[in-house]
Structure 1
Amino acid sequence: MKIILFIAAVLMTECNSVRLSALTKPTTTSTPAQMTQPTALVQEMTPPTFVCPESSNTASPVARLRAAMKNSSYTQMNAFFDAFLVFYSDEHLSEEPAAEERRLEYISGWEGSGTAVVADDGAALWVPSADLRRARATVSCLWLVLDQDDPRQPTIAEWIAERRGRSGKVGADARLTSISDWQALATSLQRENLQLVPQSTMLDQLWNEEMDPARRRPEFTRVVAMSHNQEYTGMSWREKVNLVRNELQAVGADAMIVTALDEVAWLLNIRGKDLPYAPLLKAFVLLSLKDVRVYVPPGKLLMPERDALSAYNCFANSNNCTRVNEYGTVYSDLRRAIETKILIPTGGTFQRGASAAIAQSIPQTKRLFQTSPIIYFKAQKNSAEIHGMKKAHLRDAVAMCTVLNYIEKIYLYRIQSIDDRRDA
């Protein structure tokens, strides 16, 4: 024991002497000549300026959009755009738009939700916080990805104002955002002396002219709509129309524009395959006290479905028929509608409401903003719908049990394999 203590004392003495010599060692002052580095070495240490390879690609969607912002054949106006906004949704503000409606993915490469802004000297993408890391890993180096839920990040208006040009105009497709979001954007841009201008053709024209096969716009689905059997709905489309008409009269409206696709499906008892994960038909419905006007792409409603909707029996003063019109004419028809008050659905917990373009198409004196009454009618399930829900839950339970059984078998198999290897 004494020998161990003696060795420890010697080691401590040696360590202290080393520390003391290090502290008392005189420091040498470097002369300016010693501190000056060669010019070549300084240049080698300076990091090179990063240049995004995409910035030189004039055929990219961003470059083509920037060129179109300064081209009157695309802007359809004398003034040019300093920036252009690209939204995620479609004309019905669907939660999951179809492939041919994903304009945000075309322009940025980001397949999730968000808002993109393209200016002459930059491009920025605002995404939810949960998608921030994935978005930054997905888009190219052209894009600045910002957290739309972080108040410390610059807003769209602030970001555009930092790189504003001379015209002070910002373009956007008013069909792809709600009236409340459009008004909020317009107000924030106005504070920066910028004007939000609706432009619904420029980006679609660019996408339709895309030459790169990988970026070319997918074709619209040609799957036709089908009538939903009353065995499952419990009510005919006429009964549902009468329910909505009674509600319109109670609030002082003589018409309503139906834009949400699930409400169109419920009202007309019709189903389609125009959205990725929902059996819905892409259509607008203008329901008045006298008739029902459906705006649908060509070829979607065949003779049996038109016959079920009484589209062949329309005559003057008839309120039990459906007039089928071209999908894109809904905006012009709303501008010259003869009705005095048209209910425009507002956003809420379950719906985003009508788009800004729909609201802007209706004369201001005829606008009546209110929650869609169809939401509440849909929530009140009749006996046929309750029976269908129970059957659906049974099928869902069988599917869930099948999956869990499969996972359990895989787990047990792996446990057994581990035990066998240990025994071996």
Structure 2
Amino acid sequence: MTYIEKLQALRKLMAGHNIDAYIITAADPHISEYLPAHYKAIPFVSGFTGSAGTLVITQEFAGLWTDSRYFTQAEAQLSGSGYELVKLKIAHTPEYIDWLSGVLPKGAKVGFNYQLITVTLATALKNSLQQQQITVTNVDFVSEIWTDRVGLPQEKAYLIDAEAAGLSISAKITQVRTNLIAYGAGYHFISALDDIAWLFNLRGSDVDYNPVTLSFALITPNETKLFINEEKLSKNDIETLNQQGVDLYPYDEAANALETLPEEATVFIDPKRTCFGLYQLLPQTAKIISGINPVTHLKSLKNDTEIKHIGKAMLHDGVALTRFFKWLEDRLGKEKITEWSAAQKLDAFRAENASFVGLSFNTISGYNANGALPHYTVTAESDQEINGDGLFLVDSGGQYLYGTTDITRVIPIGNCIVRQADDYTLVLKGLIEGSKLIFPAGTNGYQIDAVCRKPLWEYGINFGHGTGHGIGFFLNVHEGPQTISPANVDIPFKPGMVTSIEPGIYRPAKHGVRIENLVLCISHNHTEFGDFLAFETLTLCYIDTSVINKSLLESHQLAWLNHYNQTVFNQLQPLLSVEEAAWLKEKCKAI
């Protein structure tokens, strides 16, 4: 079926069930950012492949609500699909709720799949629409028209040992139980795959880029239950889990476990990372305690072992990036290199390391105008040759057995115009100001965000995405609870958190600039005014200086840059060939 035919089929089902509006979310029952193919409903019905968006269908209108990162992409992918782009004014907000309240009559009915929506969002929908006498109901029309839908992934899973993780499974469970006691909760249900992976030292490949496996967990006063397809695990891993106090149950028995909890149970759940369908199965008399999963907080504070391993990952990632950028410089003008072939070559350099598992996300490889798309995905149609003059942006990352990387660099190709040099330098200033910041304990991400944006704001420039996100330890490239963004998220930075800093400038149809490093939050000092924290830069890859407008840099910023590039050379040089080291030394030369 074409997208138009699929839309018509959905509307026919809606009419047959007296549904006035149908909502399709980008989610799975684990509320994952990246979805198994089985749950990629939005691409199936509309053609839009961005990671953030919501479809809302009525008999008169069908729209995709998404944020500025995807405006250009959505307009192109939705062409001829029957869906229109609705531009969110504020990212990650359900603005379609107010739209529905305004266009639907009293007595209307809104349907959505309760398994694919968070408790928080479903509750907001119900409460807001009920004020307009509009009801909601649980429906899944997508499954009725998706006749060739692939099944759930059945990839093998495995445990990483305590020596690699820094803590045993039983020690982590004890930490979670201690947190639950503090909350006054006896039970805790976890559906977020990366939280489960961290808690059980469990890794897999059920989801692209994220080394996780489909599973649920339930911690009770007397038992720790892991709901997973046992065929995914080796006998040795099953024995290890049992020895660490973990009992295994089939994946599809999680729902029954919730339904049969004691009526007087006190249950802790994360409403933003639990689906409404499972939440509704809890006994009506149970006491619900809502908050961020304790595991989310625990795994954000990297232990000494994890930090040591992450440093090793940065070294090997830096070697791969050095070889890639040298290869690019050596081969440009001698052979045809495109955005796609460059990304493939970078993948190959990373794969040369024995501990490389895969990419941490789909490489963003954008030249000139394509670099202006923050979440650009190169396709056969969009693939552009890298030649002439301009800026080449590469945002990439790897999953290693001992860490996760995420880095963005922009490389000048040929000659650059003044505006490109100025944009590059202003973005670099934002990165430097965030990286060298010293701040009091208790500082939240939105305060740090303003510091990073200030060099751009002074020139009337801003960007539409967050400045930084948490990074997992051989886990998801995006993790919480901390974030650096304008959003008023009341999560203070703490020592042990690993976060990206990635300001950007995007000029549509012209060029884009984003420079990104990962930083570790560390203790700095204690004064009469309290404890102060700082960032230690972890990423090891030179920052190109050939396109910098030095007049825009202050002396302390220039000193930071020169010191950083010298550190990159000192750390990577022992791992490079003589020729590679000589090339990198020139790139890292002080300016």
Q: TM-score, normalised by structure 1?
A: 0.71
Q: Of 307, 315, 318, which residue of structure 2 is paired with 1:386? A: 307
The residue that corresponds to 1:121 in the other structure is 60
Alignment of 1:9-408 (within 5 A): 60-71=5-16, 80-112=18-50, 113-139=52-78, 140-149=80-89, 155-160=95-100, 164=104, 168-199=108-139, 201-207=140-146, 210=147, 216-297=148-229, 299-310=231-242, 321-338=245-262, 340-346=265-271, 352-364=272-284, 365-408=286-329
Over 3 Å counting, the alpha-carbon distance change for 1:268 and 1:141 in structure 2 is closer
Offset at 1:167? 5.4
Relative distance call for 1:206 and 1:300 in structure 2 (3 A) is farther
Contact 1:157 1:192 in 2 (8 A): no
Kept in 1, the 8 Å contact 2:106–2:132? The answer is no
Conserved 8 A contact 1:345-1:372: yes
Letter in 2 for 1:232: A
CA distance in 1, matches of 2:98, 2:296: 37
**Distance in 1 of aligned mates of 2:19 and 2:306:** 50
CA deviation after TM superposition for structure 1 residue 164, in Å: 4.0
CA displacement at 1:138 relative to structure 2 = 0.9
In 2, distance between residues paired with 1:158 and 1:382? 44
1:269-293: CA deviations, max 9, x gaps?
1111011001111111011221111
Q: 1:159 to 1:385 in 2, by over 3 A?
A: closer
SS of the residue 1:324 aligns to = strand
Q: Deviations over 1:120-159 (max 9, x none)?
A: 23312111123123212212241122112269x9942454
Please say if residues 161 and 168 of structure 2, whose CA atoms lie closer than 8 Å, have aligned partners that are also in contact.
Answer: no
Structure with greater helix share of residues: 1
8 A contact 2:114–2:275 mirrored in 1? yes
Paired residues, what number? 332
Residue pair 1:245, 1:288 contacting (<8 A) in 2 also: no
1:247 is displaced (CA, Å) by 1.3
**Distance in 1, Cα, partners of 2:304 & 2:98:** 53
- Aligned counterparts of 1:191 and 1:227: Cα–Cα separation in 2: 49
Deviation at 1:85, TM superposition (A): 0.4
Counterpart residue identity of residue 310, structure 2: M
64 and 392 in structure 1: CA distance in 2 versus 1, 3 angstrom threshold? same
The list of structure 1 runs, each at least 4 consecutive aligned residues, that deviate by more than 3 angstroms after superposition, is: 157-167, 410-414
1:387 Cα shift?
2.3
Q: Is the 8 A contact 2:190 2:217 kept in 1?
A: yes
Structure 2 residue ranges without an equivalent (≥5):
336-386, 389-591
- What's the counterpart of residue 391 of structure 2? none
Q: Give the drift of 1:234.
A: 2.0
- Once the two structures are TM-superposed, the CA of residue 231 in structure 1 deviates from its matched residue by 2.3
Counterpart-to-counterpart distance in 2, 1:293 and 1:66: 41
1:97–1:275 contact (8 Å) kept in structure 2: yes
Report if the CA contact (8 A) 1:158-1:192 is conserved.
Answer: no
1:10 corresponding residue in structure 2 = none
Q: Which amino acid in 1 is paired with 2:27?
A: S
In 1, distance between residues paired with 2:122 and 2:259? 19
**Higher mean C-alpha deviation, range 402-411 or range 252-261:** 402-411
Q: Secondary structure at the match of 2:63?
A: strand
Q: What letter is aligned with 1:145?
A: L
8 A Cα contact 2:157 2:203, kept in partner = yes
- Describe the shift of the 1:372–1:281 C-alpha distance in structure 2 as closer, same or farther (beyond 3 A): same
Normalised by the length of structure 2, the TM-score is 0.52
Q: CA offsets, 1:241-268, max 9 Å, x none?
A: 1111111112111111112111101111
Pick closer, same or farther for the CA change 1:206–1:295 going to 2, 3 Å.
Answer: farther
Looking at both structures, which has the greater relative contact order when contacts are Cα pairs under 8 Å and sequence separation is at least 6?
1
CA–CA distance in 2 between the matches of 1:219 and 1:331? 19
For the structure 1 residues 357 and 120, does the alpha-carbon distance in structure 2 shift closer, same or farther, using more than 3 Å as the test?
same
Q: Which has the larger radius of gyration?
A: 1
- CA displacement 1:63-104 (0-9 Å, x = unmatched): 2222222446xxxxxxx3112100012111111112221111
Give me the whole-angstrom Cα distance separating, in 2, the residues matched to 1:331 and 1:325.
11
CA–CA separation in structure 2 for the residues paired with 1:203 and 1:141: 16
Three-state SS of the structure 2 residue aligned to 1:125 is strand
Distance 1:373 1:173, change over 3 A: same
Q: Output the CA distance in 1 between the equivalents of 2:234 and 2:26.
A: 31
